[in-house]
Amino acid sequence: MKNESLSTADYVVFLVYFVIVAGYGFWIYNKKKSAKSDSKDYFLAEGSLTWWAIGASLIASNISAEQFIGMSGSGFQLGLAIASYEWMAAATLIIVAVFFIPVYLKNKIFTMPQFLSQRYNETVAMIMAVFWLLLYVVVNLTSILFLGAVAVSSISGINFTICILGMAAFAIIITLGGMKVIGYTDVIQVFFLILGGLATTYLALNLVADHYGKSGVIEGFSILTSNAGDHFHMIFKKDNPNYIELPGLAVLLGGMWIANLSYWGCNQYITQRALGADLPTARGGLLFAAVLKLFMPLIVVLPGIAAFLLYKEEVFSITSQIGIGSELKVDRAYPVLLNLLPSGLKGLSFAALTAAVVASLAGKANSIATIFTLDVYKKVFKKDASEKNLVRTGKITVVVAMLLAVIISPFLGIDKGGLKFIQEYTGFVSPGIFAMFILGFFWKRTTSSAALFATIGGFALSVILKFLPEWTDLHWLYQFNLASINPSSGLYEIPFMDRMSIVFLFSIIGMFFISVSKYKRGETNPKGLEIDSSMFKPNAGFTVGAVLIVGILVALYSVFW
């Protein structure tokens, strides 16, 4: 077993990565200083990002410890089925590019609370601004930092606290340069992320092949599908012990769509990358991100499945590194696997993991700064703030948010699935948010009272459904595929994806009746958006690319059903 430390060659590889990213970021920052520098340029890089920079930045911001550690851990536990988060995201990005981005750009939307203010009222916008800030700082930023520090510490042997402080400092340096620096350094981050991730997958499959007396990644993959065949099914049946995590067809027809459309279409952290571009450029960036999404399971899921097979074969020191039985700590699978890599390549994979974490931290911190500065500070504290003052406030917010994450993250204690932690707690708010956005886009009668109902009522119902199994027996719901046994508690629970579907339908129905009680047939809310059907028509190149992606997705689900 390899030591949990980095060699000189590993440190050299990592140093090269650090110098390239930091140097390029500094060059972009200095180049930007001579050009226009206002709040829109700082927060959105208005008109500066190309389609490939937008696409790369989307992936760099999205792929983080949540995927490298959390999704690899879920690959270890659940298998290829967890790849639905990535592959369904590819289809979701196409939908967002066709139907969501045109609405934002036509109405000159720069932040999600700004959209809510224009479409509903300031009360809805301010409630959601505070809600998003709390969610981004307490759940997203802290969990990314925590999982990243766990992984980096496990691989390098560096003290956990030093890892947290080092990654936070690196992210702050990049974030203070603004969205333009983030966007273009993300291109380099994605390069290291993909190169290092593929190197890890390549060597993981080789390790599997070597263990069985074979050689090569093809042999390794073949052995993996033969000896861990139960880990290569995309859709779980009701009797599968992991059904509660990915409840069968709900992955294709239910909650997974709500999670993805809310994340990719109604999320400041993501949409911000495209809001400063024109429509063709924004769509090109989203399509490029969709293409990259198709390859992500190779990097973040296959290593987890390989780690599972090697764990089963007792290649790992079981009790000290991954655990046993109910104490299985699946998020340690990826770091343990990296510790088997040879010197130099381990440094490359280490750089890829660090790139993923730092890029996500920077993107999240920039979004926090954007919402606080433009939707809270400017509206509540200083309505006449100058452009210079807004940029300075954004930079202070970045530092404060990161310091809060540093303080909070050690207390998270995510031991049994970081991906599940993030998805489930984000899922408390995403159904109501998505309902509020989708009706706000396409139904002019939707009212601000209905939007408040979806926000507050949706969150309340999510909490009720979460704790309902502790109050009453839900065994009867099992017959309708709406409940499953939680292996850890022994209780019948509604899978969180099904909870999202229920809450979304509840929110939509409630919003409908609240809205029609105010506006009768033929009447519309004066704040309803003007929608022109021509704005949803993509160009021929985008259409061809979208059709190819959908065809590939159909083939993947057909093969691994």
Q: What is the pLDDT of residue 322?
A: 45
pLDDT (average), residues 14-20: 79
State what percent of residues in the chain have pLDDT above 70: 83
- H-state helical runs in 301-342: 302-312, 318-321, 333-338
pLDDT tier at 254 (50, 70, 90 boundaries)?
confident
Weakest-pLDDT range from 58-72, 460-474, 505-519: 58-72
**CA atoms of 150 and 135, how far apart (whole Å):** 21
- Average pLDDT in the 245-262 region? 84
Q: How confident is the model at residue 181 (pLDDT cuts 50, 70, 90)?
A: low
Of residues 185 and 54, which shows the higher confidence score?
54
Cβ-based neighbours of 544, under 8 Å, separated by 6 or more: none
CATH superfamily of 11-28+38-426: Sodium/glucose cotransporter (1.20.1730.10)
Mean pLDDT of 82-93: 91
Name the more confident of 475 and 235: 235
Average confidence (pLDDT) over 70-80 = 81
CA dist 129 and 175 (Å) reads: 20
CB 511 within 8 A of CB 451: yes
Mean pLDDT score, 142-156: 78
CA distance 125 to 225: 49
Quote the pLDDT of residue 38: 55
Category of 413 on φ-ψ map: left (φ > 0), alpha (ψ -120 to 50) or beta: left
Retrieve residue 403's tokens: 């310091």
Q: Does residue 539 have a pLDDT over 80? A: yes
The CATH 1.20.1730.10 domain(s) of the chain lie at 11-28+38-426
Q: What is the mean pLDDT of the chain?
A: 79
pLDDT band at 40 (very low <50, low <70, confident <90, very high): low
* pTM, two decimal places: 0.80
Rounded CA-CA distance 60/115 in Å is: 25
Give residue 411's Cα distance to chain centre. 21
pLDDT score recorded for residue 450? 92
Q: Cα(first)–Cα(last) distance of the chain, in Å?
A: 36
Instruction: Kindly provide the residue ranges of all beta strands, DSSP E only, lying in 364-522, ordered along the sequence.
Output: 484-485, 492-493
Residue pair 126/371 in contact (Cβ under 8 Å)? The answer is no
Other CB atoms closer than 10 Å to residue 331's CB: what's the count? 31
Q: How confident is the model at residue 298 (pLDDT cuts 50, 70, 90)?
A: confident
- Nearest to residue 80, comparing CAs of 532, 517, 561? 561
Q: b/e per residue, 31-70, with b = 16+ CB within 10 A?
A: ebeeeeeebbbbbbbbebbbbebbbbbbbbbbbbbbbbbb
Q: Which of 551, 80, 7, 462 is closest to 262 using CA atoms?
A: 462
Looking at residue 327, its pLDDT comes to 41
Q: What is the percent of the chain with per-residue pLDDT over 90, rounded to a whole number? A: 11
* pLDDT value at 167 more than 80: yes
Q: Mean pLDDT throughout 459-470?
A: 85
CB 217 within 8 A of CB 202: yes
